Amino acid sequence: MSALLQATDLRRRFGGLMAVCDVSIEVRPGEIMGLIGPNGAGKTTFFNLLTGMTRADSGTVVFDGHDVTRAKPEAIARLGLARTFQNIRLFGGLTLMDNVRVAGRVQARHGLLSGLCFTPGSRREDEAVTEKAFDLLRLVGLEDRADHLAASLPYGDRRRLEIARALALSPRLLLLDEPAAGLNPSEKLGLADFIRAIKERFDLTVLLIEHNVPMVMGLCDRVMVLNFGQMIAVGAPEDVQRDPGVIEAYLGGDAHGAA
C-alpha cells in the first residue's frame, strides 16, 4: 500500500542549529508510528514541518497524494492532517463545545459567514456540526461540561479536549505531541487504550511523539528515532530497542549536550 505521508530529505536549520537534517520517512495508512528521541532531537520541529507551521529549507512532504511542502497550515488541516501540542493550546475563552465546533466548521460549505443561519442549509449544517461536536465530547467524557470555558478545565481533561478538537477535523492522520506528558500513571494506562480505540473508530493513522518508552513499545507498530535532527533508526519497536545507535543516543555522552 502506498504511503499516506511521505517526507523526503526534509531539512530545517535555525541559525547554526540543524534542527531537522535530511529526514525521509513514510507513514503507512492505518499504522501507529512512534517518534522518539532525546530532548532537542528535532521531534517537534519535524511536526511543525509536516503541518506547515515551519517552512522546510529543502525536501518535500507529500500527504495523501498532495505535495504540501509549501502549503498553508489551514490547507493541510483541511486535507485531513490534525495535531495536538506538547504544551496544550486550547482556546481558553471559548466553551468546550465551541473549541470543538470551531474546528468542525472547516467542513462547512457556506464560507466565512457560515453560521449566520439565514438559510435552512446553513442551519442544518450548524446543527450537524453541533451534534458531531457533542459526540466527540462524549467520546472523551467531557459532555457534561460542554458549556464550561476551556480555561476552567484541569490539566488531564485539557489533553482529552485537545484530542476531541483535533478529531473534529475528521483527520486521516493524527499527530500527537507527547500526549502522555503530565498525566498520572492511571491516565497514562488509559491513554494507550484510548488511542487504539479512536484509531479503529475513525480509521486513523497516528504519528506520536512520546517519551514514555513502555507506552511506545506497547502501542506502536513502528518507531522512528531522531537524534540531533537526524533519523538514526526506524523499524519495529523491539528492533529499534536493540539498535546500538539508539542505545548510544540515549545513554551515550553526546546525548547530554542535546537538551
Partner 1 sequence: MDFAWLLQSLLNGLSIGSVYAVFALGYTLVFSILGIINFAHGAVFTLGAYLTYALAVGRFGINGLLADVTMPVTLPFVPALLVGAVLSGLAGMAVERLAFKPLRQRGADPLLALVSSLGVALIVVNLIQYLVGAEIYSFPADIFGDLPMAVIFQIGGKPVAVRTIQIILFGASLVMLAGLGWFIGRTRGGKALRATAENADTASLLGISVNRFILGTFFISGLLGGLAGTLIGVSFGVAGPYFGVSYGLKGLAVIVLGGLGSIPGAVLGGLVIGLGEAFLPSDMSSYKEAVAFVLLFAILLVRPQGLLGGRLEQKV
| Binding site residues, partner 1, CB under 8 A | 51, 53, 72-74, 77-78, 82-83, 85, 87, 89, 91-94, 98-99, 101-103, 105-106, 108, 112-117, 126, 129, 165, 168-169
Of 254, 248, 176, 164, nearest to 215 by C-alpha is 176
Q: Which is nearer to partner 1, 92 or 252 (CB)?
A: 92
Query: What are the residues whose beta carbons fall under 8 Å from the beta carbon of 32, sequence distance 6 or more?
Result: 195, 196, 199, 205, 206, 208, 219, 220, 221
Q: Which is nearer to partner 1, 27 or 103 (CB)?
A: 103
Q: Decide if 48 contacts 83 (C-beta within 8 A).
A: no
- What DSSP character marks residue 253? G
Q: Which is nearer to partner 1, 206 or 249 (CB)?
A: 206
Least distance (Å) from partner 1 to the CB of residue 88?
10
Neighbours of 246 (CB within 10 A): 20
Least distance (Å) from partner 1 to the CB of residue 127?
11
Least distance (Å) from partner 1 to the CB of residue 102?
5
Q: Which is nearer to partner 1, 8 or 95 (CB)?
A: 95
122, amino acid identity? S
Least distance (Å) from partner 1 to the CB of residue 106?
3
SS (H, E, C) 102-120: HHHHHHCCCCCCCCCCCCH
What residue has cell string 501540542? 85
At residue 32, the 3 state secondary structure works out as strand
Q: Which is nearer to partner 1, 85 or 202 (CB)?
A: 85
Q: Decide if 81 contacts 171 (C-beta within 8 A).
A: yes
Least distance (Å) from partner 1 to the CB of residue 76?
8
Least distance (Å) from partner 1 to the CB of residue 12?
16
Q: How many CA atoms lie within 13 Å of 88's alpha carbon, on the beta-carbon side?
A: 25
Q: Which is nearer to partner 1, 23 or 103 (CB)?
A: 103
